[in-house]
Each structure stands twice: as structure tokens, then as C-alpha cells.
């Protein structure tokens, strides 16, 4: 019997709260906008294009690790887990895990439930035996899953090095929230590793300038959300490796002095002044394993590619 997915929306982000958060960041020195605003409909498509770039090794490398090690991963896990996909998007990565990991329930979580509908309905056709639930939730600051996810042991799935957007302190806090949320199951997480700076910087400043478009598109999204009048031609993409903090930083840099206005206020930017839009931390595998232990996880296994560029960790609670 073919089932159909269920959808729930958890705490839809309030327009007023979004405005307040954005305007607070735009008035700060240095100005800052959360990377979650990179992902409007166009931004999500630009990110998908980034994952196809030869320079953006992350997605491809992670996929190669899963392709090679999926049976070893399955050996570590009981059948019948609930797979909770944090940041599911097109559900493509999880689709390859359902069969091999003998998943009984699949929960796709993304910032907007609307991003999930088509993908989850399509996936359900291919896996009629798996219960499927789509959840709209911004879990980036607090991981709260609706009761509908159920009380079975969960395998929390956090691929793509999304954890890289968090500072080490925030990452620890997030992992500590994940530990009880797994309900006796575990965590399967992809983490980008330190590597030569030229490789890192090319991945975030590609010659086709897709990453530049992805970053600059954030200003259009902000204009839409707060009614500001950013002119994209006034801003250039900057991405560089901050070695002391072991992170790629993305910024938007004013090409000339500009004043940006929005209902109720304005902000002047000098030529060369920047808006910080993203951090992407690059971990040492041993440091990340220690972080998992700190967060309460145990029985940690890790797999990497032959270049040692990316790691997938499996941790049990």
C-alpha cells in the first residue's frame, strides 16, 4: 500500500522578528547578515549550481565517501531507525541512505516546508514502505522537533558540512542539543576539513563567479525582506581563508561609499567596508571527534576520502 507524506510547519518565522534580526545586523559594525538569508528560491538554485562546480569539492567528496562506505555504516546501525534529515532540501542525499540503512521513517526538515513538498512526494513513490514526514523549521538556533516525529530511536543526518556555519562554541551547543534529540540513536554528520588554502579559496571564489552571484543575491533577498535599497552593482564578493580561525569568510564589500535606506532608518558604508555574510569552518578530524565526545556522543567512527579533504562521522549516543 502506497503511503503519502505528512507535512507540518513548526514556528513559521515571524516577519517582524526576521526584520528586527536583519536590521540589527545591518546597523552593527562590522555589519553582518546570517547565511540563512542566502537561501531564497534563487539562492537555493545558485547553491545547487555551486555543488556542480569543479572547484567546489565538498558535495562530490562527501558523496564519494557515502558511496564507498555505506555498507560499513550500515554495519554500525540497527534496522528500523527514524532518519531525521536536517536541511533536507531536495532530499537527494538521504534518498541514497533509506534502503542501505534499513530506515523505517524518514523525516525531512528544512527552513520552509514548501521546499520539501515536491521532493518528498517523489521520494515516497520510490519508497512506499517508508513513513515520511516533512517539517518546516528553522533549527539553526534551537533544535525542536514536533511530536509527530515519534519516539523511536533517531539517526540525525546533518550532511554537507552545514555544521561549518557555526563557530566551534555554537557547534558544541548544537551537538549537545542533538544528543538527547537522537533518542538513543545516533548522528551521521559531514564535516569539511583543513586543506591547502588555494584549494579552499578556489572553492569559494570560483572563476565562473557562481559563488559571487550566490553571495550578492543575498542583497536582493534582504531588499525584499526589509524594503532596503541595496544596489547590487555597488557590492563585490570577497571570500578568503582566515587561517587563525580556520574558516572561510564570505563578505560583501562596498565598491564605493554608499548609503542604504530602508523604512525608518539608513546606513552609510564607506568604500571598502564589508558586510559579513558567512563563515565556513574547516575542522581537523581529531578536533571534531573530540567535540563529539564533549557533546556526549560515543562509539565514534569516521570515514574520509583518499585526499583527507572531507570526513563523515557516525556517533552513537
Residues that bind ligand AVJ (CB under 6 A): 50, 58, 160-162, 164-165, 204, 211, 278, 280
Distances (CA, A) of 66 to 62, 123, 300, 311: 6, 19, 16, 10
Taking alpha carbons only, the member of 273, 11, 34, 5 closest to residue 128 is 5
Looking at beta carbons only, is 5 or 160 nearer to ligand AVJ?
A: 160
Element holding 188 (H helix, E strand): strand 186-192
Q: How far is the CB of 248 from ligand AVJ (least distance, A)?
A: 7
Q: Which residue is nearest to ligand AVJ (CB)?
A: 280
Taking alpha carbons only, the member of 222, 231, 216 closest to residue 23 is 222
Taking alpha carbons only, the member of 23, 25, 48 closest to residue 211 is 48
Looking at beta carbons only, is 82 or 211 nearer to ligand AVJ?
A: 211
Q: How far is the CB of 260 from ligand AVJ (least distance, A)?
A: 23
How far, in Å, CA of 163 to CA of 152, rounded?
Answer: 24
Looking at beta carbons only, is 90 or 162 nearer to ligand AVJ?
A: 162
Q: How far is the CB of 307 from ligand AVJ (least distance, A)?
A: 17
Looking at beta carbons only, is 58 or 314 nearer to ligand AVJ?
A: 58
Looking at beta carbons only, is 49 or 70 nearer to ligand AVJ?
A: 49
Q: How far is the CB of 78 from ligand AVJ (least distance, A)?
A: 29
Q: How far is the CB of 42 from ligand AVJ (least distance, A)?
A: 15
Amino acid at each position: 500500500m502506497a503511503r503519502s507524506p505528512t507535512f507540518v510547519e513548526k514556528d513559521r518565522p515571524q516577519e517582524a522578528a526576521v526584520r528586527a534580526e536583519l536590521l540589527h545586523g545591518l546597523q552593527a559594525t562590522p555589519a553582518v547578515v546570517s547565511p540563512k538569508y542566502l537561501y531564497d528560491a534563487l539562492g537555493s538554485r545558485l547553491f545547487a549550481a555551486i555543488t556542480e562546480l569543479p572547484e567546489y569539492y565538498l558535495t562530490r567528496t562527501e558523496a564519494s565517501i557515502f558511496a564507498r562506505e555505506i555498507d560499513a555504516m550500515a554495519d554500525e546501525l540497527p534496522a528500523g531507525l527514524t532518519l531525521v534529515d536536517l536541511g533536507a532540501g531536495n532530499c537527494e542525499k538521504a534518498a541514497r541512505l533509506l534502503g542501505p540503512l534499513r530506515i523505517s521513517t524518514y523525516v525531512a526538515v528544512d527552513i520552509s516546508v514548501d521546499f520539501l513538498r515536491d521532493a518528498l512526494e517523489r521520494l515516497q513513490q520510490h519508497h512506499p514502505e517508508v513513513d515520511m514526514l516533512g517539517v518546516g523549521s528553522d533549527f539553526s538556533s534551537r533544535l525542536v522537533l514536533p511530536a509527530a516525529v515519534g519516539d523511536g530511536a533517531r539517526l540525525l543526518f546533518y550532511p554537507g558540512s552545514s555544521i561549518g556555519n557555526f563557530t566551534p562554541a555554537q557547534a558544541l551547543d548544537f551537538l549537545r542539543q542533538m544528543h538527547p534529540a537522537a533518542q538513543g540513536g545516533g548522528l551521521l554528520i559531514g564535516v569539511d576539513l583543513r586543506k591547502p588554502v588555494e584549494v579552499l579559496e578556489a572553492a569559494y571564489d570560483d572563476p565562473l563567479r557562481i559563488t559571487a552571484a550566490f553571495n550578492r543575491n543575498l542583497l536582493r533577498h534582504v531588499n525584499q525582506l526589509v524594503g532596503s535599497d541595496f544596489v547590487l552593482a555597488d557590492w563585490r564578493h570577497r571570500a578568503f581563508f582566515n587561517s587563525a580561525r580556520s574558516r572561510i569568510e564570505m563578505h560583501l564589500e562596498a565598491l564605493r561609499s554608499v548609503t542604504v535606506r530602508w523604512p525608518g532608518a539608513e546606513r552609510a558604508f564607506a568604500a571598502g567596508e564589508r558586510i559579513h555574510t558567512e563563515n565556513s569552518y574547516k575542522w581537523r578530524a581529531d578536533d571534531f571527534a573530540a567535540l563529539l565526545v564533549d557533546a556526549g556522543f560515543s562509539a565514534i567512527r569516521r570515514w574520509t576520502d583518499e585526499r583527507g579533504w572531507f570526513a563523515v562521522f557516525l556517533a552513537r549516543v
